[in-house]
Amino acid sequence: MKVIAISGGSKNGSNDSMAKEALMGAAEQGAEIEFIHLLDLNLKPCTGCIACVKSLMSGGNGDCVIKDDFKWIEEKILDADGVIFAMPIFEKGAPGIFRLLQDRLCGPAHDTGINIIAGKIAAQMGKPGPDPRKLKKKAVSYISIGGSDWNTSASCDMKLSAMSGMWTVIDDEVFPWAKSIIVQDENVAIKEHADVRESEKGKLEA
Ligand SMILES: Cc1cc2nc3c(=O)[nH]c(=O)nc-3n(C[C@H](O)[C@H](O)[C@H](O)COP(=O)(O)O)c2cc1C
């Protein structure tokens, strides 16, 4: 079981700390873990060229044509069984860096339906087609950390990213007034949604 955590916060800030705290929990359960600090990567925005979709519809693998670090992080995410996203709340919602990653990672080229069809097209053409890991079951967990209680769209912004890949959301926590979260014991050890985790675990095992 591989679990990775992706933090969109500042270096060693609240989001990094919570992401690492969550990873330590996963490691205690026996998971292989990895931490990724998103702002260390060179990620360019999606240009909407749809080269990925054209590739998929003609038997290709749907890889993005932009040359940057996306392929590296995509590989980590495709490989993982679980992904923890820890993001600062900016302007009442998910930060730009998360939206940028989401456009590249959750757009049409990573949509479950499109990849099922693309697989069939590729099979008919005798080509390898899309990476089969795009259809792998994945559990995701969202952590949003704010410095005030302005967080109207944080949970919605984060959770929508689970849609196209049909990821199973096992946690979605929004922490208001949490700039010093790592010393807020009640937040670090949050037990809410344990019931959701249990029922979703059953679905993943099925
Ligand atoms: C541009 C900007 C916008 C922000 N907007 C909000 C906001 O709307 N609501 C909120 O609760 N906190 C807001 N904050 C505070 C951040 O959420 C907080 O600084 C962040 O969680 C710190 O994370 P880090 O320590 O991991 O860098 C904002 C901070 C910045 C820099």
Listing DSSP states for the chain in one string gives -EEEEEE-SSTTSHHHHHHHHHHHHHHHTT-EEEEEEGGGS--PPP----HHHHHHHTTS-------SSHHHHHHHHHH-SEEEEEEE-BTTB--HHHHHHHHHHHSGGG-HHHHHHHHHHHHHHT---S-GGGGS--EEEEEEE-SSS--TTHHHHHHHTTTTTT-EEEEEEEESS-TTGGG-HHHHT--TTHHHHHHHHHHHH-
- What's the average model confidence in pLDDT over 54-68? 98
What is the atom index within ligand 1 of the atom nearest the CA of 16? 26
Q: Which of 10, 37, 38, 91 to mutate to test the pocket of ligand 1 (most atoms within 8 A of CB)?
A: 91
Which is the CATH superfamily of the domain at 2-43+68-116+137-205? Answer: Flavodoxin domain (3.40.50.360)
Pocket of ligand 1 (CB under 6 A): 9-10, 13-16, 88-92, 145-148, 150-151, 179
Nearest CA to ligand 1 atom 17: 146
| Structure confidence at residue 91 (pLDDT) | 98
- What's the average model confidence in pLDDT over 82-88? 98
The residues spanned by each domain of the chain are: 2-43+68-116+137-205
Asked whether the predicted pLDDT for residue 205 surpasses 90, the reply is no
Percent of the chain at pLDDT exceeding 70: 92
* Residue range 151-170, pLDDT digits in tens: 999 999 999 999 999 999 99
Asked whether the predicted pLDDT for residue 193 surpasses 60, the reply is no
